[in-house]
Amino acid sequence: MVLDNLYLIVAITEKSNAIGKDNNLLYFLKEDMNFFKEKTCGNSIICGRKTFEGFKIKPLPKRKILF
């Protein structure tokens, strides 16, 4: 597989640089979820097994999941 472009979307806390805890997001912000959906629909997503297992909807509509 050849990747022409690779973009990263990461949400981290300001103080501890954490991205999650106990396989959950630290915060649920509707604006962040909408941004993620807008940017990833029609594209592939690369994620780890635990992230994939944490998705509430499987598979995510209109996206290809690679892990």
Q: Confidence class of residue 1 from pLDDT cuts 50, 70 and 90?
A: low
Q: Are 59 and 67 in contact (CB under 8 A)?
A: no
What is d(CA 57, CA 5) in angstroms, rounded to the nearest whole number?
26
pLDDT at 38: 94
Among all chains, which residue has been given the structure tokens 């944490």? 54
C-alpha neighbours within 13 Å on the C-beta side of residue 5: 4
Mean pLDDT value across residues 50-59: 83
